[in-house]
Chains A and B, each alone.
Chain A
Amino acid sequence: MLRLVGKRLVPQTQVQTLGTPTLRLRRRYHERVVDHYNNPRNVGSFDKEDPTVGTGLVGAPACGDVMKLQIKVDQHSGKIVDACFKTFGCGSAIASSSVATEWVKGKHMEEVLSIKNTEIAKHLSLPPVKLHCSMLAEDAIKAAVKDYESKKAKNGSSDASSPKVAEA
């Protein structure tokens, strides 16, 4: 390659000298993020066509991330009984969606709509530059709920029409 390529300072690594010992400060992922990245909870896929499943598909074009979050809803109680996700993106995005699937389980749909990205970000100690990952997770939850609701409405209306068809 080029012999004359200049060396640029890598912003993530700062070297501070305190007297004799040299202290290296590196920006790291918070241990919770690392945990969710290495041991992601609820990775997987539900059947999109299943009427009890709501699918939220969101993307962050700035970084090319894609996040799919699915919820399985108990139709009688309106509670989310299961959730899974599939995310292509950075560690923070993966961790945010993993946390989101954990938090929605066992809650009602109205409840999960109030989950804020700031709570996810705080839980994972996300730096400002990664806040949009938590926003993506919040949007994914909302999209999943919206998808379920619209499916329910569609199925509801088709259920209403089918008895008429049967009668005819």
Chain B
Amino acid sequence: MWNRRKNLLLSSLSLLRHISSSPHLPRLHPLKPSHLLCPSNSFLPPIDSQLRNNLLDLPRCGFPRNLSSSNSCSSCWNCGAVGPTSGAFLACGSCGAVQPVDASVDYFQIFGMKKMYEIEEGDLEGIYKDWQKKLHPDLVHSKSEKEKGFAAEQSARVIDAYRTLKNPLSRALYLLKLEQIHVDEEKTVSDPDLLMEMLEMREAVEEAKDTQSLKEIQSKVKKKLDSWSNSFKEAFNKQDFDSAVNCTQRMKYYERALEEITKKL
């Protein structure tokens, strides 16, 4: 009974490896092996519970190692289980072992989001916490030095990803970076209108005498930030990267002003 299950799984895995080399992945029923083999993320995949239980019943290192070294999937160093074809393989869905950092996986993939400016910011925190439940170094203190090292790096990377994606400006700059748009950080700008506006804004913040006036300035600046944030979205979607960079520069100035206001409040 046990061997039959194992054989069934092995044969489906080899079948899928064969199929995955072709451009179109046909849906196979009733096992739904695309989910089985390469889930879109390494949370427990949305397969029916009986199949999932079967999976979990399998002994660790039940898969022979040669099966897991396919071109598109990475495999778990601990049990050899194959990771997802796309998306982040940070912790093994089978044995829970933390995987080494793969720098080619970008922050959007870690959060299972499309690489674009508009994201569901509300979802970020939940996904972040779920990852930390698997990756946090405090949770691997009983494991090997190797795995502790992986956990420290993965955990730090997830924190970076969360912070970068949460803040609109850093998300915008990250998107530009992924598009290989290099922004010259050292360049001075001398656009008089822009600078005059920023100077007057910062002066107003400095001279504001009470909370009321500070809050008024704050809401004005937030509105401007939102409006330039939308401009960035449009420019980026049109691939007008010069305008996009210009938008991020303005957003930076507004963010600085908001930081100063927050300090004063």
Q: Is B one of A's binding partners?
A: yes
Binding site for B on A (CB under 8 A): 2, 4-6, 8, 57-64, 66, 68, 86, 88, 132, 135-136, 139, 143
In the complex, per-residue mask of B143-170: 1 if CB is within 8 Å of any chain A CB, else 0: 0000000000001100100000000000
In the complex, per-residue mask of B196-240: 1 if CB is within 8 Å of any chain A CB, else 0: 101100110000000000000000000000000000000000000
In whole angstroms, how far apart are the Cα atoms of A143 and B133 in the complex? 54
- Assuming A61-B252, A64-B253, is B129 touching A4 (CB within 8 A)? yes
The answer, yes or no, to whether B39 is at the interface (CB within 8 Å) is no
In whole angstroms, how far apart are the Cα atoms of A6 and B163 in the complex? 12
- Chain A at the B interface: mostly helix, strand, loop or mixed? mixed
- Chain B at the A interface: mostly helix, strand, loop or mixed? helix
In whole angstroms, how far apart are the Cα atoms of A135 and B202 in the complex? 21
Q: Which 5 A-B pairs have the closest CB atoms?
A: A64-B256, A61-B249, A62-B185, A4-B132, A88-B202
Chain A residues within an 8 Å CB radius of B11: none
Instruction: Please tell me the number of chain B residues within 8 Å of chain A, measured between CB atoms.
Output: 34
Chain A residues within an 8 Å CB radius of B190: 57-59, 139, 143
The answer, yes or no, to whether B84 is at the interface (CB within 8 Å) is no
B195 touches A58 (CB 8 A): yes
A sample of 13 inter-chain contacts (CB < 8 A) reads A6-B159, A57-B190, A58-B188, A59-B188, A61-B253, A62-B183, A63-B256, A64-B256, A66-B253, A88-B202, A88-B256, A132-B185, A136-B188
The answer, yes or no, to whether B57 is at the interface (CB within 8 Å) is no
